[in-house]
Amino acid sequence: MGISRRTLITAAAAAATPLPRLAARAAAPTLKIGVLSDMSGPYRDIGGPTAVACVQQAIADFGDKGWTVDVVSGDHQNKPDVGTAIVARWYDREGVDLVIDCPNSAVGLAVANVAKEKNKAYINSNSASSLLTGKDCNANTIHWTYDTYMLGKSTGGAMVKAGGKTWFFITADYTFGHLLRDQTAMFVKAEGGKVLGNVNYPFPQTTDFSSYLVQAQASGAQVLGLANAGKDTVNSVKQAHEFGVNKKMRIAGLLVFLNDVHGMGLEIAQGLILTESFYWDMNDRTRAFTKRVLPRTPNNYPSMGQAGDYSGTLHFLKAVHDMGVPAAKKSGADIIARMKKIPTDDDAYGKAYIREDGRFMCPAYLFRVKTPAESKKPWDYYTLLGTTPAAEAFMSPKVEGCPLMKA
Amino acid sequence: MAGLAGARLAAFLILLALIVAAPFVVYPVFVMQAMSFALVALGFNLLLGYVGLLSLGHAAFFGLGAYVGAFCAKSLGSGPELAILAGTASGAAVGLVVGFLAIRRQGIYFAMITLALAEMVRFFCLEAPFTHGEDGIQPIPRGRALGALALHHDFAMYWFVAVAFVLGFLLLYRIIHSPFGQVLKAIRESETRAISLGYRVESYKLLAFVLSAGFAGAGGALEALVTRIATLSGVDAAMSAQIVLMVLLGGMGTVFGPVVGALIVVAMQTYLATLGSWVSVIQGGIFIVCVLAFRRGVVGEIAARLRLAL
């Protein structure tokens, strides 16, 4: 079925394309990049079509080097089984060489296993779990952008230093939420703070956070830590606002993206403390990148995960160019190894590098969300509070237990 | 196989030929998934098509079979055969409990009890540590069939699944056409009459339920070995609905219907995956068309047109 359909499309394309160009294309080797994301659910804005746009921008910026790059995309619906099925088919049948993006830690970890099994390349730029470069790391995977350790260290550590000594957590009751809470709590305690309480709420069916917010308020803690993401964060912040919790406690969104802030609106989001590794209005290079990509995604500015898709794709293409397309198509692990050897440099993330365990090493930026009065232009949302250098932002490879580091 | 004759024998031979030819033409993983789900649908058809009981809780047996099979293969390091047997046993065991409670009521009440108990199983799977919550159990090693043949490669795994499927199919065929199967059909036609003839209807229903749950567990374990992952989607209510859809689409009460139904549903999921959650909408639309236009299902309609028993 797959074959016949593809043959059909090729035939249609052949009929529609002038002959000389067809001949040129046939001679050129083709790479294929699969963007696996949430195209319809809670993480659509932080991945989704904007992720595809960023990958296409990277291909355009890389330019024509005598081979073509195709992009396909798929919707994992936040289900690991759906995600692995799509990726296995891409790798097996459709000649996909790289899978990228992939929000949702459960799917992110599952896809890493498939990439390893099929020996293909995989860049995860949108899941949080630090296990991707920890005990579940492998030679076919790079974890771009951010992880739970970095978020906990940057947001958690900074809040305690700024006087928020006592914490109460509201946690999404699944692996990602637990990991984010535990790693943040670790930094809170390390800085001399105290965790007064925690409440887990059922994921993903919870939309009413009122009883958890009341518990948080009753605990008397100074800081409310939200160990969740996406629409859950948006809902809990909005409701905290309605209950006046934000007047008595400071709210730390442990994983908040620019797009979430946009969804809440500044009236509600103002004053929120959060961490990202990319902000479009950071410097001339990030602004230049954003200006280039916006025509492809006019209503949704890229946040760190999508910028990571851009940065990751560009670096992948450089590594492939460096080793030659035929060699690159043979082994995903070889491409990843080559990517680790070359330092990265692009408009979104500047100069950075990839550690042996597959960790992309970028600084973590602590931001405060602006008040409506401070915001002067569209998507002007963040004020920079501080920076954690790359070497400190991520877990030491000795601690995280990645098998690649022992070898 | 005794009793397999005429049109059914011909259909069975065509099915065998298709299974042999399929991996050379289409994506083997897709066919393997279809065969795993076909086992589940066959078991479900035993209950719906032959006893007339509509269970909305078969995801519980399917998902639990997947988890238990995955756990055996990954954490206990058992071979794939043992993993499948363990999955079957767990499905049947939970089926015994659910069936024991549910068969006391008929119609919508039966369906609601199975749905409620399946939701409890889902919650258990969400909270139990061995399932790893949202992450699921992964990657599941496929191991070696009979301790020798490595199943790591999709092609080897394909033949393993094909053998398991054909054995399951023949077993089910035997069950349907045994005296036991005849009694089940009698219960479907008129329960009071079966009781008046001296049959202990509840025992028959319970056994049919347990067998059906066992098939679901086997299919679940097999599917987990194929996809190398066992997750919460397996125990989700949406999975129960899909199993119902497979049987209705293929033709309930026919021998080959569930197989065709499973193939159609898995094909939709595989080849329409790029459409994302629209798959559910399309499935719903097809379900409506099926119920309105050809209520006997694909195989049921063909059999009726050609006046064959399939």
The answer on pLDDT for B146 being more than 90 is no
| DSSP sequence for A336-352 | HHHHHHSPEEETTTEEE
Helix or strand (DSSP H, E) at B122: helix B107-127
Strand partners, A201: A172
Task: Report the range of poorest mean pLDDT among A180-194, A340-354, B125-139.
Answer: B125-139
Residue A2, judged by CB atoms within 10 A of its CB (0-12, 13-18, 19+), counts as middle
Cα dihedral across residues A298, A300, A301, A303: positive or negative? negative
A96 phi, psi to nearest 5 deg: -75, 135
Whether residue A102 lies inside any domain: the answer is yes
Sequence-distant contacts of B144-150: CB under 8 A, at least 24 apart: B144/B79, B144/B80, B145/B79, B145/B80, B145/B81, B146/B79, B146/B81, B147/B79
Query: Please, which residues bridge with residue B269 across strands?
Result: none
Residues A169 and A102 in one domain: no
What pLDDT digit, counting tens, does each position of A234-277 carry? 999 999 999 999 888 999 999 999 999 999 999 999 989 999 99
Instruction: Assign residue B185 a region (left: φ > 0; alpha: ψ between -120 and 50; beta: otherwise).
Output: alpha
pLDDT in tens, B81-128: 999 999 999 999 999 999 999 999 988 999 999 999 999 999 999 888
CA distance B81 to B222: 9
Question: Which letter does DSSP use for residue B137 in this model?
Answer: B
Contact of B24 with chain A, judged by CB distance below 8 Å, is answered with no
Q: Residue range A384-400: average pLDDT?
A: 91
Q: How many CB pairs under 8 A join A and B?
A: 90
CA distance B192 to A183: 63
Residue A403 falls within a domain, yes or no?
no
Domain hosting A133: range is: 2-146+283-358
> Alpha carbon of A252 to those of A162, A366, A382, B204, B264: distances in Å?
12, 11, 14, 59, 48
- ipTM, two decimals, is 0.85
- Average pLDDT in chain B: 92
Condensed to tens digits (0 to 9), the pLDDT of residues B249-285 reads 999 999 999 999 999 999 988 888 777 667 778 888 8
Considering the domain architecture, whether residues A327 and A236 belong to the same structural domain is answered as no
A156 shares a domain with A264: yes
For B106-113, the CB contacts below 8 A with 24+ separation are: B110/B53, B110/B54, B110/B55, B111/B54, B111/B55, B111/B56, B112/B56
In this structure, are A288 and A267 located in the same domain? no
Question: What are A361's two structure tokens?
Answer: 């090493």
CB atoms closer than 10 angstroms to residue B35: 27
Residues of A within 8 A of B133 (CB-CB) are 174-175
Contact assessment for residue A105 and residue A128, using Cβ atoms and an 8 Å cutoff: yes
CA distance from start to end of chain B: 16
Q: Confirm if B275 and B283 have CB atoms less than 8 A apart.
A: no
Q: With CB atoms and an 8 Å threshold, state whether B270 touches A92.
A: no
| A176 and A30 both lie in a single domain | no
d(CA A12, CA A5): 11
Residues across chain B: 310
pLDDT (0 to 100) of residue B277: 66
Q: Are B15 and B62 in contact (CB under 8 A)?
A: no
Q: Could you tell me if residue A254 is inside a domain? A: yes
> Which of chain B's residues have a Cβ under 8 Å away from the Cβ of A1?
26, 267, 271
CB contact under 8 A, A80 and B134: yes
A115-129 pLDDT tens trace: 999 999 999 999 999
Q: Which pLDDT band holds residue B1 (cuts at 50, 70, 90)?
A: very low
Q: Is residue A405 situated within a structural domain?
A: no
Note the pLDDT of residue A339: 97
Residue A406 lies in a domain: no
Q: Does residue A141 lie in a domain region?
A: yes
With beta carbons under 8 A apart, name residues in chain A contacting B142. none
Output the pLDDT for position B260: 96
Contacts of B66 (CB under 8 A, 6+ apart): B87, B220, B221, B223, B224, B230, B234
Closest CA to A372 of A270, A300, A242: A270
Same domain, A263 and A224: yes
Closest residue by Cα to residue A380 from A389, A392, A372, A388: A372
Q: What DSSP line would sit under A75-119, residue for residue?
A: E-TT-HHHHHHHHHHHHHHS---EEEE--SHHHHHHHHHHHHHHT
Local confidence band at A19 (pLDDT 50, 70, 90 cut-offs):
very low
- Counted residue by residue, chain A has a size of 407
Q: How far is CA B219 from CA A249, B42, B237, in A?
A: 51, 10, 17
pLDDT of residue A206: 86
Mean pLDDT of B184-199: 94
With DSSP H G I counted as helix, E B as strand and the rest as coil, what are the percentages for chain A, rounded to 5?
50, 20, 30
Give the pLDDT of residue A175. Answer: 82
Mean pLDDT, residues B32-61: 96
- The yes-or-no verdict on residue A7 having pLDDT over 70 is no
- Cβ atoms < 10 Å from Cβ of A390: 18
Please tell me if residue B240 touches chain A, with a CB cutoff of 8 Å: no
B136–A175 CB contact, under 8 Å? no
Q: Residues A83, A197: one domain?
A: no
Residues A373 and A268 occupy one common structural domain: yes
Are A371 and A231 members of one domain? Answer: yes
The reply to whether A396 falls in a domain is: no
Q: How far apart are CA B95 and CA B218, in angstroms?
A: 12
Average pLDDT in the A307-329 region? 95
Give the mean pLDDT of B155-163.
95
B139 Cβ under 8 Å from any chain A Cβ: yes
Q: Which residues of B touch A85 (CB under 8 A)?
A: 29, 33, 227, 269-270, 273
Chain B, window 46-105: residues with a beta carbon less than 8 angstroms from a chain A beta carbon? none
Mean predicted confidence (pLDDT) in B10-33: 94
What angle in degrees, to the nearest 10, is found between the helix axes of B257-271 and B297-306? 130
> What is the average per-residue pLDDT within B135-152?
88
A202: nearest CA in chain B? B126
CA distances to A298, B25, B232 from A202, in Å: 35, 44, 14
B62, B80, B132, B204 from B90: Cα distances, Å = 10, 15, 18, 20
Q: Which of these, A321, A344, A352, A316, lies nearest to A332 by C-alpha position?
A: A316
Whether chain A has a CB inside 8 Å of the CB on B198: the answer is no
CATH code of the domain containing A64: 3.40.50.2300
3-state SS assignment for residue A140: coil
pLDDT of A16 higher than 50: no
**Which among A2, A74, A77 is the nearest to B27, CB-wise?**
A2
Which two structure tokens, joined as six digits, stand for A372? 């409506």
* The residue type at B154: D
Report the pLDDT value the prediction gives residue A212, as an integer from 0 to 100: 96
> Of A32, A81, A119, A122, which to mutate for an interface test with B (greatest number of B Cβ within 10 Å)?
A81
Pick from A319-323, B230-234, B275-279: least confident? B275-279
Q: Which residue has the tokens 């001339």?
A: A284
Which residues are CB-contacts of A101 (< 8 A; sequence separation ≥ 6)?
A35, A36, A37, A47, A51, A55, A124, A125, A126, A305, A306, A309
Say whether both A109 and A13 belong to one domain.
yes
Nearest CA distance, A175 vs chain B (angstrom): 7
Give how far the C-alpha of residue A324 lies from the chain's centroid of Cα atoms, to the nearest Å: 28
Residues of chain B found within 8 Å of residue A82, distances taken between Cβ atoms: 233, 273
Structure-token match 């919870």, residue found: A206
Gap between the Cα atoms of A65 and B276, Å rounded: 33
User: Is B281 within 8 Å of chain A by CB?
Assistant: no
pLDDT beyond 60 at A10: no
CA distances from A216 to A224, A230, A232, A369 (A): 7, 20, 16, 22
Q: Say whether the peptide bond before residue A302 is cis (omega within 30 degrees of 0).
A: no
The reply to whether residue B154 touches residue A92, judged by beta carbons under 8 angstroms, is: yes
Say whether both A158 and A115 belong to one domain.
Answer: no
Q: How many domains does the structure of chain A reveal?
A: 2
CA distance B224 to B84: 10
Q: Does B136 touch chain A (CB under 8 A)?
A: yes
Q: How confident is the model at residue A181 (pLDDT cuts 50, 70, 90)?
A: very high
- Closest chain A C-alpha to B25 CA, distance in angstroms: 8
pLDDT of residue A1: 40
Inside any domain, residue A407: no
For residue A258 the two structure tokens come to 């620019």
Q: Are both A140 and A155 inside the same structural domain?
A: no
B228/A39 touch (CB, cutoff 8 Å), yes or no: no
